[in-house]
Structure 1
Amino acid sequence: MYSFIGGIILLFLGYYFYSKVIIKNFGVEPERQTPAYVLEDGSDFVPMSKNKNWLIQLLNIAGTGPIFGPIMGALYGPVAFIWIVIGNIFAGAVHDYYLGMISLRNNGAHLPELSGKYLGKGMKHVVNIFTALLLLLVGTVFVTSPASLLEEVTNGFLGHWGWVILIFMYYFLSTILPIDKVIGRIYPIFGAILLLACAGVGITLFTSGNIENVPELNLQNMHPDNLSVIPGLFFTISCGAMSGFHATQSPIISRTVEKEGEGRFVFYGAMIAEGVIAMIWAAAAMALFDGQTLSQIIAQGTASAAVSEISLKLLGSVGGTIAILGVIVLPITSGDTAFRSLRMVIADYLKIDQKSYNKRFLIAIPIFIISGALMFIDFNLLWRYFNWANQATAVIALFVSSAYLFLKKRNYFVTLIPGVFMLYMVILYLLTEKIGFGLDMKLSYYISIVIVGMILVAFAYQMKKMSESITPDSDLLNDQKDIADLYPELVIHK
């Protein structure tokens, strides 16, 4: 019980204290005009209030990850709490804040554009392909999971494919319509359902007395199948601790933030909130089931089976249904912006202005055709590839942030340390898992260290090379890129 309560308190303390360190290190300029005003286009660049941006950011980044991941992470025992809390405060929230703010300083540019600027031009093309693949996987995965839950809640009404079609229709509309017309209006409703559901589960854990069943903090690996904590836990729980998918979502909100000072609440704060959600569901899973029982429930399908069991046990049929609806909201509000973000990434890469609907259709229609084809691939296989691609993207985003801070002569270790840590895990996972090379774990420990060292040497060389080429009027020192080059067809509002 105290491990859960202590973790929640630490998350709030992290926001109150450590976020101030991170914000000061970035160097916020309260009077700087943001892209929402400079590039206002009525579609993607639209000024919105701080509270609305926070809610949209939270719903964008919180797919099934902060629920499914912590439930599966609960199999490892209370060590999951350690990763959620430490990962969130010192890695995930830092990752989300810096990527969002660096994007804001670069006219709402997405990760591929930022990678090209701060890691070298060649990286732009590599990261663009990588980001597009990740977003396509996210969008597809986040059709399957809510469709399964909706089919269960409605006792088979419409069937699985009926719900898939309806969700795809909503995703298409939210991808092509202006952000304030669909997402900006419907998200407050979705947000209310989400927060009500999480509050219901969290409060009922205490009122029912089940919170006392949560094991006290220890480093013991309690996984019933004896799966290794390293690297498994860091890929099982991503959303809630650290997730590269967030690097594709923060730039969406960087285009709607009204003032730079709001970044702390919008980016860092939304991630802390996601950490609280992850803690609640991990605690609920540990409180209600022993590891073997939870493993058997998950094995029946996906973690959605455990979500239903937890919700109905704690809240009864009516409250449980509301809680399940709250869980359904999460993947839907990440899937829609995954496709929207993918449209933006492709448009930015190909320099296709998105003011007209015809040009949005030109990009969106092929995206949805490909995603529809991916629906016929096994969900669990897609999820494993998504897990790896997700954390690899986090590494790229943290190295972009480190390069930005280095070139600005600020403390870059706040992003480089978590970046190196996750880089090691990404390589180790690829070497040892079935989706990779399936090598021996002990051998892979040493191989991973060598590869990380080589990448760090290459990164240091690139930073030295770029810093030597900087002039007083260099684009690397001037945050705003040439707007006319990035968006030649947009009207610039003074």
Structure 2
Amino acid sequence: MSAIVLLVLGLAAMAAGYLVYSKFIAEKIYRLDPDFKTPAHEYEDGIDFVPTNRFILWGHHFTSVAGAAPIVGPAIAVIWGWLPAFLWVVLGTIFFAGVHDSGAIWASVRNKAKSVGSLTGDVVGKRARSIFMIVIFLVLLMVNAVFAVVIAGLMMKFSSAVVPVWGAILVALVIGQLIYRRILSLPVVSVLGVIALYALIWVGPSVPIQMPTEVMPGLSGNAAWILLLFGYAAIASLLPVWMLLQPRDYINGLQLFIGLIVLYGAVVLLNPTLVAPAFNTDVPPGTPSLLPLLFVTIACGAISGFHGLVSSGTTSKQLNRETDARFVGYFGAVGEGMLALAAILAATAGFASVADWQAMYTAFGSGGVTAFVQGGAYIIHNGLGMPEATAATLLTVMAALFAGTTMDTGLRLQRYIFQEWGEIYNLPWMKKGAPATLLAVGSCLLLAFGAGGADGSGGMIIWPLFGTTNQLLAGLTLLVITVMLVRLRRPMWYTLAPLCFLLVMTIGALLLQLRTFYEQGNIFLLLMDIVVLIAAILVAMECAAALKRSRAEVAAEPE
């Protein structure tokens, strides 16, 4: 089958979802009000609460939620064939992710920009809040620890990516000053920023920076990069959002779209064939069943609980008008769906033959970023004539920059969690930014080096549980939104149906993983799985109780 057909069908469906379905959800279900005074204006402080142009905010939101996950998940899931991955990405983007992301922004904005974890206590109950906060902490711990390993690994493997990855930070700092101080208009700044970013990508191969394999006794090069990344992220999480977070995310959003145009354009010109089967019946030994693992393997790109943390953690504090939630939240999900679609195309059409594809997918979990970079570089090289090494650097930098922006936001969100715990348990010192940031960084480093040893790869140990934990978090967010809709006497099925689907798939996946971990003798992951499974069952019970209680309260109220 031609890759162009898949490309056109996917983009057309997502465009229709944004133009039609998101408008219906925004106007009839959430009823976004352009005159509502958002928290960005009510609590404006120039640090976290900053009214922001919706295009810049879209860039922040999109690149924060995207990361490497919409590349990794789909590029692994195609081991079951391209059709299941394609359908889940497209339908998940339209009916799950867009509704979830824009709804989380709306729910937070309507409640003083509280995070969805804190909001759970007000909307659902204190028991649900306790579960939520634990799940949120686990997800952020996984994301921050693992993405540090991913970025460090990319810089160790591709020394040509070091200058573009770190140089992008300087570009963002300059752009932040130009925009905030209104020295230049946004279109001019955008053009200059993109030129600077791609100039760095061009310079990168000429100035490779290779970290020594061993920096000093007991400290590997990989571990040194991880420490530097967390040092940077700690500083970035305390800076005003307009100074680094917003411009870094905005310019990375632009470079992603340029990267997508390059990759999509190469697909159109080359017209490659999908060498992978639509349904792969000859999967490698040990590959788990498609149902329900597909729906937790592809999280970002279809629906992801991490998006709810960003939507209610940083995005809601910067929303200029409530109606911007549709563009920022729903279209942000569409942008991620487009990236996931590109990953599917690269991982299925970026190989010369079925044998080459099978050589990449020798076991469940293979593929990932490597399949995206190699497959995408193959398509760009043969479609546009760009040197394959340059195309590989372009895609590597894209993946590393997205992982970096997600890590920036993730550590800031983890700092918010510790500050919220300070509020809940009346610990004044924990409410302050610096101590909360130190706790956030310390917990990540404890996992990275405590569980992973001297190379700092501890996050990878619990990464197999990310998909299920992340989807459980998405279910909790949808629960909060659904209860709010019930109390407002609005239709709830548009959020309740995705909620029920996610809970069923998550609990099923946890049960399958439980057996796998037991057979492998992995006691640590077995115990972690049991914890998450208990949380999932409690969430299901809280869902039923909260909805029953809310519907009874509404029925008792006069119309």
Distance in 1 of aligned mates of 2:509 and 2:118? 27
Of 494, 500, 503, which residue of structure 2 is paired with 1:420?
500
- Tell me if structure 2 keeps the 8 A contact 1:146–1:331: yes
2:416 pairs with 1:332: no
- Once the two structures are TM-superposed, the CA of residue 357 in structure 1 deviates from its matched residue by 12
The amino acid of 1:129's aligned partner reads I
Tell me the CA shift for residue 346 of structure 1: 2.2
Pair 223,271 (structure 1): closer, same or farther in 2 beyond 3 Å:
farther
Using the TM superposition, name which of 73-82 and 419-428 deviates more: 73-82
Matched with 1:485 is none
Closer, same or farther: CA 247–274 of 1 in aligned 2, 3 Å: same
Aligned partners of 2:369 and 2:540: how far apart in 1?
A: 39
Contact 1:198–1:277 (CA under 8 A) maintained in structure 2: yes
Q: Select the residue among 9, 15, 20 that pairs with 2:12.
A: 9
Q: Which amino acid aligns with 2:295?
A: F
Structure-2 residue corresponding to 1:182: 244
Match of 1:106 among 95, 103, 111: 111
**Paired AA for residue 269 in structure 2:** T
Query: Per-residue CA shift, 1:349-378, capped at 9, x if unaligned?
Result: 32299x999921111112112211212335
Residues 152 and 297 of structure 1: is their aligned pair in 2 closer, same or farther, counting only changes over 3 Å? farther
**Alignment match, 1:447:** none
1:365 equivalenced with 2:438 (yes/no): yes
> Any conservation in 2 of the 1:58–1:271 contact (CA below 8 Å)?
yes
- Summarize the Cα distance change of 1:452–1:360 in structure 2 as closer, same or farther, 3 Å threshold: closer
Q: 1:284 deviation in Å?
A: 1.2
Q: CA RMSD in A?
A: 3.1
| Separation in 2, partners of 1:433, 1:192 | 38
SS of 2:437's partner is helix
- Partners of 1:330 and 1:222 lie apart in 2 by 33
The match for 2:447 is 374
Aligned mate of 1:232, from 281, 293, 296: 293
The 1:50/1:435 distance shift into structure 2, 3 A limit, reads farther
Q: Which residue of 2 aligns with 1:243?
A: 304
SS in 1 for 2:491: coil
Unaligned ranges ≥5, structure 2: 161-208, 212-220, 381-387, 453-457, 520-534
- The CA distance in 2 between the partners of 1:373 and 1:120, in whole Å, is 31
Superposition deviation, residue 30 in structure 1: 1.0
Give the Cα–Cα distance (whole angstroms) in 1 for the partners of residues 379 and 316 of structure 2: 38
Task: Kindly indicate whether residue 59 of structure 2 is the aligned counterpart of residue 55 of structure 1.
Answer: yes
Matched ranges for 1:7-406 at <5 A? 7-24=10-27, 25-77=29-81, 78-154=83-159, 157-158=210-211, 159-210=221-272, 212-213=273-274, 218=278, 223-225=283-285, 226-251=287-312, 252-289=314-351, 290=354, 291-296=357-362, 303-315=368-380, 316-351=388-423, 359-376=432-449, 377=452, 378-406=458-486
Mapped contact 1:194–1:329 kept (Cα < 8 A): no
Write the distance in 1 (CA, Å) between the matches of 2:431 and 2:537.
Answer: 47
Cα shift at 1:308? 3.3
Contact 1:76 1:229 in 2 (8 A): yes
Instruction: Note the alpha carbon deviations across 1:234-265, whole angstroms, 9 max, x for none.
Output: 11111000101101100111110100111110
Counterpart of 1:462 in structure 2 is 546
Q: Within 2, Cα distance between the matches of 1:461 and 1:49?
A: 40
TM-score (norm 1): 0.86
Q: CA deviation at 1:343?
A: 1.1
Distance change >3 Å, CA 146–CA 416, structure 1 → 2:
same
Measured at CA, do residues 461 and 53 of structure 1 come closer, stay the same or move farther in structure 2, by a change above 3 Å?
Answer: same
Contact residue 11 and residue 272 of structure 1 kept, 8 A: yes
* 1:348–1:435 Cα change, 3 Å: farther
Q: Which moved more, 1:146-155 or 1:191-200?
A: 191-200
State the aligned residue count. Answer: 461
The Cα of 1:67 is off from its aligned counterpart by 0.5
Change (3 A) 1:436 1:173: farther
Per the alignment, do residues 223 and 459 of structure 1 end up closer, same or farther by CA in structure 2, a change over 3 Å counting? same
Report the more deviating stretch, 455-464 or 267-276.
455-464
SS of residue matched to 2:113: coil
Deviating runs (4+, > 6 A) in structure 1?
Answer: 297-300, 355-358, 451-455, 470-473
Q: Note if contact 1:193-1:325 (Cα within 8 Å) is conserved in structure 2.
A: no
- Once residues 127 and 77 of structure 2 are traced to their aligned partners in structure 1, the CA distance between those partners, rounded to angstroms, is 37
Residues 503, 540 of structure 2: 8 Å contact kept: no
CA displacement at 1:303 relative to structure 2: 2.3
Q: CA deviation at 1:320?
A: 2.1
Question: For 2:241, what is the secondary structure of its paired residue?
Answer: coil
| 198 and 79 in structure 1: CA distance in 2 versus 1, 3 angstrom threshold | same
How far did 1:208 drift?
A: 2.5
User: Which whole-Å CA distance do the structure 2 matches of 1:395 and 1:122 have between them?
Assistant: 16
Q: Distance in 2 between matches of 1:152 and 1:195?
A: 25
Identity of aligned residues (%): 27
Structure 1 partner of 2:491? 411
| Cα displacement (A) at 1:296 | 3.6
**Measured at CA, do residues 165 and 419 of structure 1 come closer, stay the same or move farther in structure 2, by a change above 3 Å?**
same
Q: 1:174 to 1:357 in 2, by over 3 A?
A: farther
In structure 2, relative to structure 1, the CA distance for the partners of 1:466 and 1:322 (3 Å cut) is same
Structure 1: stretches of 5+ with no match in the other structure: 440-450, 478-494
Describe the superposition over 1:393-438 as per-residue Cα deviations: whole angstroms up to 9, x where unpaired: 0111111111111111111110110110010011111111148776
After the TM superposition, which of the residue ranges 196-205 and 56-65 deviates more from structure 2? 196-205
Contact 2:479–2:496, Cα closer than 8 Å, also in 1:
yes
Amino acid in structure 2 at the alignment position of 1:386: F
How far apart in 2 are the matches of 1:399 and 1:357?
Answer: 28
Query: Secondary structure at 2:49's aligned position in 1?
Result: coil
